[in-house]
Amino acid sequence: MRKVSIEWKHFDKEGETCKRCSATGTNLAETIKELRGEFSVQEVEIVFRETKLPESRMNESNEILIDGILLEKFLPDTEVGMNSCSSCGDLIGGRNCCCRTISCKEDIFEEIPAELIKEAILSRIKSK
């Protein structure tokens, strides 16, 4: 059986995370559930791990790694950026905070959409 490891890293403060990370987490959970159903007959096992980050590692927040490789490495025409995140700012006491974004073609995403997550995972599985 082939195994694919997926890690989702996000800032966590006392069990809370920002809105964009929360949305990414929901998209990721739905995608994994869908793919586990599809892959059950193809002998592909998806192993999921969630890594909750302290404020000192916020620059890694909202990263998805597939077999230890950042999701965006599997998506052509994709770049990582940063922009202001008021939700994280609220969690850290109202300070200004910038969080990770992903640009794909002409679109900028603050939360990682299910379609991009699925595309990256399928790309990784095909390359194994």
Provide the residue type at 49 as one letter.
R
Q: How far apart are CA 43 and CA 40, in angstroms?
A: 6
Q: What is the pLDDT of residue 7?
A: 98
Which pLDDT belongs to residue 37?
Answer: 87
Judge contact between 39 and 126, C-beta under 8 A: no
Strand, coil or helix: 118: helix
Q: How far is CA 93 from the centre of its chain?
A: 24
Q: What is the pLDDT, as a whole number, of residue 93?
A: 85
pLDDT, position 10: 95
For the domain made up of 2-127, the CATH class stated in words is alpha beta
Please state the length of the chain. 128
**Nearest-CA neighbor of 111 among 18, 47, 42, 4?**
18
- List per-residue pLDDT tens for the chain, 128 residues long: 789 999 999 999 999 999 999 999 999 999 999 998 887 767 888 999 999 999 899 889 999 999 999 999 999 999 999 999 889 888 888 778 888 999 998 899 999 999 999 999 999 988 87
Q: What is the pTM of this model?
A: 0.92
- 8 A C-beta contact, residue 83 and residue 98: yes
Decide: 18 and 91 in contact? Cβ < 8 Å. Answer: yes
